[in-house]
């Protein structure tokens, strides 16, 4: 009996049951979901095995580099709690309280809070954000949060055009609708 356990890819994939004995271990859900869904895959002790014969598309490989650069840009453009406090005419203590209560989004890196700038518009917190942020899964990566807030969402429309959740809120759209959508982020559905 083999050490490998075959795992089916989505039903519409004809080669999902193909068995492979050699392969490379590639970490990361994005690679596993995007790169090998069409060829089937094997799981061994929670590792995803991709056959040596599988060709990983360059866009999948580049995704890691683009994500790294995006994270670097996110960190560089983020504010410190002190800078946020100065912008909002508040105190760093109040900003830290907002971060901990999840009415302002931030993440820790090297033991320092980073507050992404996308949540501010004209020197103020985007209206309605305080009701949306607590609905987001705490385990989301900062890039997932950034992407969700800034990419167009098919459920949000202004003048026959899809808009991002942050654009929706900036335009005065119903924060309850965005909060409902936020509850689904990271749910796997």
Contact 42, 49 (CB under 8 A): yes
Coil/strand/helix, residue 22: coil
Is the entire prediction scored with pTM above 0.75? no
Q: Residues 11-28: what's their mean pLDDT?
A: 35
pLDDT of residue 64: 84
pLDDT of residue 187: 63
Contact 2, 49 (CB under 8 A): no
For 161-184, letters b (16+ CB in 10 Å) and e give eebbbbbbbbeebebebbbebbee
Q: What is the pLDDT of residues 60-80, one digit of tens each?
A: 445 588 889 999 999 999 999
Distance CA 152, CA 83 (A): 29
Mean pLDDT of the chain: 75
Name residues whose C-beta falls within 8 Å of residue 60's C-beta, 6 or more positions apart in sequence.
30, 31, 34, 35
Q: Residue ranges per domain, the chain?
A: 5-53, 74-182
126 pLDDT tier (thresholds 50, 70, 90): very high
pLDDT of residue 186: 73
Q: Which of 4-8, 80-84, 117-121, 123-127 has the lowest mean pLDDT?
A: 4-8
Q: What is the pLDDT of residues 69-111, one digit of tens each?
A: 999 999 999 999 999 999 999 999 999 999 999 999 999 999 9
Distance CA 57, CA 81 (A): 40
Distances from the Cα of 40 to the Cα of 51, 80, 107, 137, 167, angstroms = 9, 45, 36, 29, 39
Using the predicted structure, report yes or no on whether residue 157 has a pLDDT greater than 90.
yes
């Amino acid at each position: 009996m083999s050490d490998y356990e075959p795992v089916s890819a989505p039903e519409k994939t004809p080669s999902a049951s193909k068995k492979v004995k050699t392969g490379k271990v590639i970490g990361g859900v994005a690679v596993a979901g995007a790169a090998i869904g069409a060829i089937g895959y094997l799981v061994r002790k929670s590792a995803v095995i991709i056959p040596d014969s599988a060709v990983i598309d360059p866009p999948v490989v580049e995704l890691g580099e683009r994500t790294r650069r995006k994270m670097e840009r996110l960190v560089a453009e983020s504010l410190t709690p002190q800078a946020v406090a100065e912008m909002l005419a508040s105190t760093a203590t109040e900003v830290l309280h907002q971060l901990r209560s999840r009415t302002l989004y931030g993440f820790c890196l090297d033991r320092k809070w980073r507050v992404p700038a996308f949540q501010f518009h004209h020197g103020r917190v985007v209206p309605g954000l305080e009701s949306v942020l607590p609905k987001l899964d705490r385990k989301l990566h900062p890039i997932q949060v950034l992407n969700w807030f800034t990419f167009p969402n098919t459920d949000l429309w202004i003048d026959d055009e899809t808009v991002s959740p942050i654009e929706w809120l900036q335009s005065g759209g119903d924060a309850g609708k965005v909060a409902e959508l936020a509850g689904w982020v990271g749910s796997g559905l």
